[in-house]
């Protein structure tokens, strides 16, 4: 099962790397709920996360996450100790801290320019992040770390990018105008017309067919003549025998 989970995680990482420009080391934003779940399930985040993703990672958090854990008290003291070991990324709520879910959501808005992964157990936060394109999600299920498959929003965003790469209708009109100005359109039309012309039958092929038919007829006539000659010779021999007998 571990190999299968690693293969699926590799496919998901390949999707983000090839389509959205994610590169190693991957930056993972973790909140207090993920740290608490890792503590309960005895998951060593620093050791198991790089093995699961098979890539270099940077474990990060924000000041809002740390202050929220401090405000919750002794219940999440172990999660706070874990989160304090991570790198702290600067957020726009330095002077006025907000809830961890609000902070992490603001860090990945505008198409996630810093290519953050979000690791959380907050269901409401995950539902909001799925509505944003290009944000990988991590969570813990049954003592295992799971990388969520790309959301439909991310897939639609990438499909829109590929469709925009093709030539639009206005661009086609502009290209056609440039061709007419430079006289390239007439040359193209003349070439296309020449290609569309259908040629007549090849006279050489017809002659070959006629020759084949003539040779067949000649062979039939030769066979007839040979048969008639054989019959004449047989009659002549029979007549000579009769004369000698008399």
Residues 6+ apart with CB under 8 A from 176: 185
- Is 85 inside a domain boundary? yes
65 contact partners, CB below 8 Å, separation of at least 6: 30, 31, 32, 83, 100, 103, 104
Q: How many domains does the chain have?
A: 1
Least confident piece of the model among 65-69, 100-104, 152-156, 226-230: 226-230
pLDDT tens track for 177-229 = 656 755 655 555 555 555 556 666 666 666 555 455 555 666 666 666 666 55
Does 208 reside within a domain? no
Q: What is the DSSP string of 96-144?
A: S---HHHHHHHHTTTT-TT-EEEE---HHHHHHHTTSTT--EEEEETTE
pLDDT of res. 95: 86
pLDDT, average across residues 52-67:
96
Asked, for residue 170, whether it belongs to a domain, the answer is no
In a domain, residue 22? The reply is yes
102 belongs to a structural domain = yes
Please write the tens of the pLDDT for every residue from 2-31. Answer: 788 889 999 999 999 999 999 999 999 999
Q: What is the CATH number of the domain that holds 14?
A: 3.40.50.1010
- Strands of the chain, DSSP E: 26-30, 57-62, 87-89, 116-119, 137-141, 144-147
Structural domain of 50: 1-155
Confirm whether 226 is domain-assigned.
no
């Amino acid at each position: 099962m571990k190999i299968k989970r690693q293969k699926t995680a590799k496919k998901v990482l390949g999707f983000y790397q090839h389509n959205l420009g994610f590169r190693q080391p991957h930056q993972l934003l973790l909140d207090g709920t993920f740290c608490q779940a890792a503590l309960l399930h005895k998951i060593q985040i620093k050791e198991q996360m790089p093995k699961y993703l098979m890539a270099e990672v940077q474990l990060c958090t924000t000041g809002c996450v740390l202050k929220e854990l401090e405000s919750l008290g002794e219940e999440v003291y172990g999660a706070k100790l874990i989160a304090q070991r991570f790198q702290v990324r600067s957020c726009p709520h330095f002077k006025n801290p907000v809830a961890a879910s609000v902070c992490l959501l603001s860090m990945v808005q505008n198409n996630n320019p810093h290519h953050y992964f979000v690791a959380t157990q907050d269901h409401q936060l995950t539902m909001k992040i799925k509505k944003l394109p290009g944000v990988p999600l991590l969570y813990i299920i049954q003592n295992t770390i799971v990388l969520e498959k790309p959301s439909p929003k991310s897939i639609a965003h990438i499909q829109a990018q590929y469709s925009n790469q093709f030539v639009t209708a206005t661009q086609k009109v502009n290209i056609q105008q440039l061709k007419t100005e430079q006289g390239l359109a007439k040359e193209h039309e003349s070439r296309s017309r020449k290609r569309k012309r259908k040629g007549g039958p090849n006279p050489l092929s017809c002659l070959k067919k006629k020759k084949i038919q003539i040779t067949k007829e000649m062979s039939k006539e030769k066979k007839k003549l040979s048969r008639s000659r054989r019959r004449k010779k047989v009659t002549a021999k029979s007549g000579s025998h009769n004369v000698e007998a008399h």
